[in-house]
Structure 1
Amino acid sequence: MGISASDADDSVSAGEFSARYDSFVVDLLGSIAYGELSAFVRLAADAQHAPSLRDRSVLGRMAVSEFGHYEAMCARLDEMGMDPELAMAPYQRMVDAFHERTRPADWHESLMKAYVVEAITGEFYAAIAEHLDEGTRDAIAKVRTSDAQTAELTGLLKKMLSEDPRLSSRLALWGRRLVGEALTQVQRIGAKHSFLVGLRPDATQEQAAAEVHAILSALTRNHSKRMSGLGLTA
């Protein structure tokens, strides 16, 4: 259910709550927009190392989708009267550093990174969007990898693992590193920009931290299920 200024209690004025909520939404959309833009650049670059043109097209299509997601976030920020570049700026260094820490060593690791990171970020956005107004919630709902793309990526990974079982231990370890880095990134961004504090008039940092913890736990469980589906240990 979306949040409105009328939900504010006596301790927080409607104007104060509305301003706090709007600031939260701009922060969130800015972080998503830059994340999607950087994902576009990363996937397009990783596609160059594909062993075949068909494989290259898989990440190429995902890159195109990511750019569409970026444009959707910018459009929503424009609707709010916000400059998308200014909204993204606080996240550039943080997101770029994440991708430097998780730079794939080869094509196999590129596929696994796309599989892990896209799923986790999509689920995180969906969990946060449940608390938002309808317009923002609908915009964020567009930021997800399609079921067809996920199935294609899963199929490539399973084929790759069946053809070379020696990859299993390395990719399982890589998957664990990726999920750890991704969840740490969510926590880092949340701590820096007070995600979730703006969603309730009586919200505190402690309550927001507890809610973020619950979301991270769900993300971890879902990641484990996906790794099991590939025959890998999370």
Structure 2
Amino acid sequence: MTEVVHDAHPIADAADTVELLGLVAHLQHVAFGRLAEDARVAPSTAQQLELSRLAAAAVARRDAVLERVVELGGDPERCLGAYARLMEDFDSRTQPSTWWERLLRSYVADGVSDDFCRIAAAAVDPRSRALLLEVLDDAAHEDLAVGELEAAGAQDEVLVSRLALWGRRLVGEALGVVQQAMAAHPGLGRLVTRRASGGAAVDASAGDGHDATPATSEEDAAAPARLFGELTAEHTRRMSRLGLTA
């Protein structure tokens, strides 16, 4: 049975939630491709096995998100396809030249995109939010990348310096992808603004939601700056975990 999301603009809110679900499903789809390619070129058999398992897990997460799209009355193929070209420019401008650059690219790109989706997820209905946070909080690949990069950096100061520069380039490109996504998909921006104003959509079947308070024009204007400040701060934290300067 299709679930109804109630608020001042119920149709728009349901559509915005599906838009975010589509983005997360797409990011998991992209992660599958990257992880499968990483597994193919990984330098050791142990890494190949682990990365192939992570690729399979990304497919399972993608499909779980698309199931929620169907529950909300959305078309899974359409909402996934809406983001088909989102990462193309990022990938073409950030081609890694070493295994370590490849690991850091996924670490930074996934980190920024996941942080953005967590922020937007704060404004959707409770059931969708719980699913999204479960998907986004899977840290298996992040832990693998951190372990590999920390071990390599401990033995090579030159590599540490190069990766720090690479990370700065990556985060600029990743933040650009967020800007492109919000420009092409206004529903994402509405979710970020509603989250900033403390509003959240209501899941009619949960019975524990409340009507969102419309954002003011000042909140609308401040939301993007606040968003990118948060994303940058989280990126700095992740780079510090690696011992790299953001």
* Band of TM-score, shorter chain: 0.7 to 0.9
TM-score, with normalisation over the residues of structure 2?
0.81
Per mean C-alpha deviation after superposition, the further-off stretch among 38-47 and 190-199 is 190-199
The answer for the alignment partner of 1:197 in structure 2 is 190
- 2:178 alignment partner, one of 171, 181, 186: 186
TM-score, with normalisation over the residues of structure 1?
0.85
The answer for the alignment partner of 1:85 in structure 2 is 77
Q: Give deviations 1:180-202, integer Å, cap 9, x for gaps.
A: 11111111111221123264563
Match of 1:74, SS state, is helix
Q: Taking structure 1 as reference, are residues 155 and 132 closer, same or farther at Cα in structure 2, changes over 3 Å only? A: same
Q: Taking structure 1 as reference, are residues 205 and 44 closer, same or farther at Cα in structure 2, changes over 3 Å only? A: farther
Q: Give deviations 1:101-143, integer Å, cap 9, x for gaps.
A: 2232221111111221222222222211111111110121122
- 2:37 alignment partner, one of 35, 38, 45: 45
- Return 5+ residue gaps in structure 1 as ranges: 9-16
Q: Give deviations 1:18-71, integer Å, cap 9, x for gaps.
A: 011112112111121112101111111122221111222343333222212211
Offset, 1:88: 1.7
Q: Taking structure 1 as reference, are residues 204 and 62 closer, same or farther at Cα in structure 2, changes over 3 Å only? A: farther
Match of 1:86, SS state, is helix
Contact 1:69-1:142 at 8 Å conserved across structures: no
CA RMSD of aligned residues (A): 2.3
Structure-2 separation of matches of 1:180 and 1:74: 29
Structure-1 separation of matches of 2:218 and 2:79: 25
Q: Taking structure 1 as reference, are residues 143 and 96 closer, same or farther at Cα in structure 2, changes over 3 Å only? A: farther
- Return 5+ residue gaps in structure 2 as ranges: 195-211
Q: Which has the higher helix share?
A: 1
Q: Taking structure 1 as reference, are residues 36 and 79 closer, same or farther at Cα in structure 2, changes over 3 Å only? A: same
Structure-2 separation of matches of 1:33 and 1:19: 21
The answer for the alignment partner of 2:224 in structure 1 is 212
Structure-2 separation of matches of 1:33 and 1:172: 30
Offset, 1:148: 4.7
The aligned runs of 1:1-234 (5 Å cut-off) are 5-6=6-7, 8=8, 17-194=9-186, 195-197=188-190, 199=194, 202-203=214-215, 207-208=219-220, 210-234=222-246
- The residue type equivalent to 2:163 in the other structure is L
Q: Give deviations 1:172-220, integer Å, cap 9, x for gaps.
A: 1111111111111111111221123264563478744532321221121
Per mean C-alpha deviation after superposition, the further-off stretch among 51-60 and 142-151 is 142-151
Structure-1 separation of matches of 2:114 and 2:59: 15
- The residue type equivalent to 1:222 in the other structure is E
Structure-1 separation of matches of 2:27 and 2:221: 22
Structure-2 separation of matches of 1:201 and 1:32: 26
Structure-1 separation of matches of 2:161 and 2:55: 28
Structure-2 separation of matches of 1:130 and 1:64: 27
> Percent sequence identity over matched residues?
37
The answer for the alignment partner of 1:12 in structure 2 is none
